[in-house]
A and B are shown apart, each in its own frame.
Chain A
Amino acid sequence: MENILIKTIDLTKTYNVGEIDVHALKSVNITIEKGEFVAIMGASGSGKSTLMNLLGCLDMPTTGDYFLDGINTSKLPQNEYAHIRNQKIGFVFQGFNLLPRTTALENVELPLMYDRLEKVKNHQKQASQALERVGLGDRMHHIPSQLSGGQQQRVALARALVNQPSIILADEPTGNLDSVTSVEVFNLFQKLNDEGITIVMVTHERDFAAFAKRIIEMRDGRVIRDSKIKDRLNAEEELKKVIAEAEIKE
């Protein structure tokens, strides 16, 4: 039981749009252990983004319970919610969501600023270490508009990592990136996962889902399939392949 990081019990989310109730999630039960790399798949409207928002404590379930690291988050007040987002969760978004006109370093420092426990005294040092970890040690003082898409996403990843969260949640992390850069990002994900970081990501490309260890498929707000990946892709090898292909094309 100690190994369980995420456990949802009958998680339900209903949105009221006018007079119609939209059931985005219908009684979802999933369990994710520490060290897993899970890809959540599904067509748009399947409820995967809603699930992601609930897992990320950005939203509250209508009914059901969500245990993160042993804490039942669905009973917590707003400020505790913010605290959990800060301490236990690192978010990576499709659109990177970096602060514009702000250096990579300052972007990465952001979660440390809102850490009420003040675990880290030297924000700058911690942030630069996180940037080095994603291979951007030489781009610390660049602002997002001076960085490529892949680099921006790596800054976002560094920001997600900086508070040493229990889990990284990635919502279509490569949706805005070309295939080479995407594979690069997955390479980084796999490395981090090898280091023991739990990752849950949403994607709708089966090719990319194969980089994970486990796929949860959703449709109409329900989990329809939950399976281990047998022949998992190694991003590092794939990266060599796509680079070679790209060179042939040229």
Chain B
Amino acid sequence: MQAKIILKVATKSIMKSRMRSLLTALGIIIGVAAVVVMVAIGDGAQQKVEQSIASLGTNLIIITPGSSNTGGVRGGMGTFSRFTFDDVDKIKNEAMLIKGVSPLVRSGGQVIGGVGNWFTSIQGVSPDYLDIREWPLQSGEFFTDRDVLARAKVCVLGTEVVKNLFPNDDPIGQQIRIRNTPFKVIGVLKEKGQSATGTSNDDVILAPSRTVQDRLSGGRFITSIQVSALSADKIPAAIAELKGIMRESHKIEPGMDDDFTIRDQSDLSEAATETSRILTILLASVAGVSLIVGGIGIMNIMLVSVTERTREIGIRLSVGARASDILIQFLTEAIVLSLSGGVIGVAFSFLVAYLLNNYTDQTAYIKPQIIMIAFGFAGAIGIFFGFYPARKASALNPIDALRYE
């Protein structure tokens, strides 16, 4: 028999009992839709995490000071910094695999200006910092290397700070006081949203690193060094290069431990994506169970159908159908049922994803692969659960089948 005829016969007998076929396929429809939607929600969450990690800057490498070691008592990470502007300059001059480098001098304090006052974090950086973090300006301008060297009292505000100090006015050109030092606002950063850890990226004031060190944080050390690699695939090489430069700069003898730590965001993103991946697997396996239940539904109906259509099988055998023809016919019916259930299920999951994306906070992202996997599963379930009833049908003896009442 030609494939075309087999398909025609299968769809015909499915269409003959529409209600039953629909109910049978419903198990697969719900199963496929559940799997696709659950995975889509997991992927959506993962995408969100990836986005917020990417908001740090995609090629970001952070060098943080190691722990202090005072007479054998080791402090925690960042307890002791020996980083100076010399380290930053050395990196800037010697490293070949980096695009930009900026010191980060972290401080914080009460800021007075505009309509009131606000406590926020103040970061002393160099002009490279905007590039490193992939953070464009919304308006105004950023300070220059000359401003840094001149210890100019200028600053750039994050949108959260603008919202609290200058809700109605343009902050550019205005004076603010950070812990009693007056600063001139020269620019506003574009809104960046939440960071990977859930805090706002925009509640920040950026100022020249040397200004912050002199006026606000004091001392001669800096909190960390932020570097951006030339490209994502050069990150490991850049880290190795930076390690060499830092060891040289800090005069660490071979065999001695580093007094700094170099991290790139892959550590961070791995941890975060791992969490959402586990979530996806969990959701998908729960949904997968419903797909298997749907498959059992198909098997059940096919078994009933074989009993009910025993005479039909007898008639087909008596006019010359082979056992294999009967097997293929019933198997095809099961596969057509489960695949059309898969099609409807995928369509349904697109609807659910659309509703989630547009009417709730939840994001669902349907990857093309997951659709292929869902179809594959639906087809496999059709074959797996359709085979036994089909075998049963094809094993019938024509005379018994014809006599069956």
Contact = CB atoms under 8 A, between A and B. Distances in A.
Do chains A and B interact in one complex?
Answer: yes
Given A78-B322, A82-B320, A114-B325, A99 B315 contact: yes
Given A97-B311, A97-B314, A114-B1, A59 B399 contact: yes
Interface string B1-18: 100010001001000100
A225 B223 CA distance: 116
B347 interface: no
B111 interface: no
A175 to B, nearest CB: 14
B322 A113 contact: no
Interface residues of A, number: 26
A102 B17 CA distance: 12
A91 B399 CA distance: 12
A114 to B, nearest CB: 4
Contacts of B322: 78-79, 82-83, 114
Contacts of B33: none
B256 interface: no
Interface centre among B317, B397, B398 (most CB of A within 10 A): B398
A85 B16 contact: no
A217 B314 CA distance: 28
Interface in A154-179: 159, 163
Interface in B389-405: 397-399, 402
A53 B397 CA distance: 12
Nearest to A80: B322
A158 to B, nearest CB: 12
A189 B177 CA distance: 114
A111 B402 contact: no
Contacts of B325: 82, 114
B187 to A, nearest CB: 78
Given A113-B5, A114-B1, A97 B317 contact: no
Contacts, number: 63
B321 interface: yes
Interface string B303-346: 00000000110111111111111000000000000000000000
A114 B319 contact: yes
B319 A85 contact: yes
Given A99-B312, A101-B16, A83 B320 contact: yes
Interface string A84-117: 0111000101000111111000000011011100
Nearest to A82: B322
Interface in A173-231: none
A102 B311 CA distance: 14
A58 interface: yes
A35 interface: no
A42 interface: no
A115 B316 CA distance: 12
Contact of B318 (A58, A78, A83, A115): A58
A165 to B, nearest CB: 10
Contact of A82 (B311, B315, B321): B321
Nearest to A86: B320
Given A58-B398, A93-B402, A111 B320 contact: yes
Interface in B337-385: none
Contacts of B12: 102
A78 B321 CA distance: 11
A150 interface: no
Contact of A78 (B5, B312, B323): B323
Nearest to B322: A82
Nearest to A123: B5
A56 interface: yes
Given A58-B398, A58-B399, A97-B402, A115 B315 contact: no
Interface of B: 1, 5, 9, 12, 16, 311-312, 314-325, 397-399, 402
14 contacts: A53-B399, A58-B317, A58-B318, A58-B402, A82-B321, A82-B323, A99-B315, A100-B312, A111-B319, A111-B320, A113-B9, A114-B316, A114-B319, A114-B322
Interface of A: 53, 56, 58-59, 78-79, 82-83, 85-87, 91, 93, 97-102, 110-111, 113-115, 159, 163
6 smallest CB-CB distances across A and B, nearest first, come from A86-B320, A111-B319, A114-B320, A82-B322, A85-B320, A58-B398
